[in-house]
Chain A
Amino acid sequence: MAEKGVKVFGMWASPMAIRLEWALRLKSVVYEYVDEDLGNKSDALLRYNPVTKKVPVLVHDGKPVVESAIIVEYIDEAWKDGYPIMPADPYERAQARFWANFADEKDLNGFVQCNAAVYPVFTATGEAQGKVVHEAQQCLKTLEKALEGKKFFGGDAVGYLDLVVGWYAYWLPIIEEVSGASVVTDEELPLMKAWFDRFLAVDVVKETLPPRDKLLALNTARREQLLTA
């Protein structure tokens, strides 16, 4: 009895889960989306990902794959005849992965990189906000270098790095609205701002974005919760 097909275990508001949807849709792969209640995780999720118990998880013919950036590379390799997500050249691939790590992880000395610099913007208030906004902008300015002279991080078309950092294009303006901060502006980050517009116009992105008002309401409520905790 072989389990067949493709399932995504995600959560509608999760920017990490949406990466998988973008990748699968670029490959024209049909998948079933399982929307998890993170406060009450399904048995299936815990069975497929007993180690970290997190979303997203991709299950392909019964085999689970975890960690969204790793899953995106997996999707590229498992459906290698479809849309090319990773660059072809080994050096370009190393560069794409390098910037993805820069965006996603704390570096090994514990200093913040992009995501870790962006999250505090969500809850910072008053004077502290100015400082965290500046740090976030510094990180994004470094990342922006990878865009120079190109339409997308991937070149003329979206690629791996666009999928990894693409969530900024939709989630950052919401974080800005909810917190009152101003991070990605024409003055500070012109290339990034222009890329936001181009990225949001891509078909697979448009098709999958969660409703803005719903996401805004969720994040407004979450912010209030965090600030009063």
Chain B
Amino acid sequence: MAELVKLIGAFGSPFVHRAEMALRLKGVPYELIQEDLNNKSELLLRHNPIHKSVPVLLHGDRPAVCESLLIVEYVDEAFPGPPLLPTDPHDRAMARFWAQFIEHKCSRPFWMAVWMDDGEAREGFVAETKGNLALLEARLQGKKFFAGDAVGYLDFAACGLAHLLGGVIEEVAGVRLYGDGEFPALRRWAEDYTSDEAVRACLPERALLVAHFAGKKDKIRMSLRAMMQHK
């Protein structure tokens, strides 16, 4: 008798998307519990007291697994099904490295640059992102997806970047940081990724995402300013 799997998530979160892709590609049925992040449930706060964030995976009676990429690895290891990460140790190390690189060196500074006010700090993030996206572009050359012909771990790890490259976030923020001609392979990847059948099952349509982020943009800007000051 298979144990129940529940995923605590929130609409539009690329982190939750990673967890959903992992469960779907592995063939694990799950119940999705949608959180209102403005009014976090007792369930979420109890299971993720340190970060209070989504996604959170509840597998049977076990205590929670938190952090999207850790959930992906847990799903890969705890359930039978096709492997999500490569099986060769060196390839696994490379996949983990690039997932981290995409998160910390690409998505993060890109996100910051889009929402920040104009100025030296923003220019810094724009330049940093540009350099790192160029390195990532080189990784993609000749391949449809980072994982090869089909969507894999690194592709859904990079989901947040797909939103950014596809212009969803820039549209909401009313900026355009990079020209249409820049990062052609990555832009093509973002389109291919977001139109993939398996992906679309757990990724909201573009119009809905734009509306979602538009509704949050003041809050995003405010919390970014608070964070910059805290530094």
Contact = CB atoms under 8 A, between A and B. Distances in A.
Mostly helix, strand, loop or mixed at chain A's interface?
helix
Given A65-B90, A65-B93, A97 B135 contact: no
Interface in A29-78: 51, 60, 63, 65-67, 70-71, 73-74, 77-78
A74 B230 CA distance: 35
Given A73-B96, A91-B78, A63 B90 contact: yes
Contacts of B51: 107
Interface string A80-92: 0000000000110
A94 B69 CA distance: 10
B2 to A, nearest CB: 15
B73 A94 contact: yes
Interface size class of B (residues with CB under 8 A): 20 to 34
B92 A98 contact: no
Overall SS of chain B's interface: helix
17 contacts: A65-B93, A65-B97, A70-B96, A70-B100, A73-B93, A74-B90, A90-B78, A93-B77, A94-B70, A94-B74, A98-B66, A107-B51, A109-B53, A109-B227, A110-B227, A110-B231, A111-B230
Interface of B: 50-51, 53, 59, 62-63, 65-67, 70-71, 73-74, 77-78, 89-90, 92-94, 96-97, 100-101, 104, 108, 135, 223, 227, 230-231
Return the 3 tightest CB-CB contacts between A and B, nearest first: A77-B89, A90-B77, A90-B78
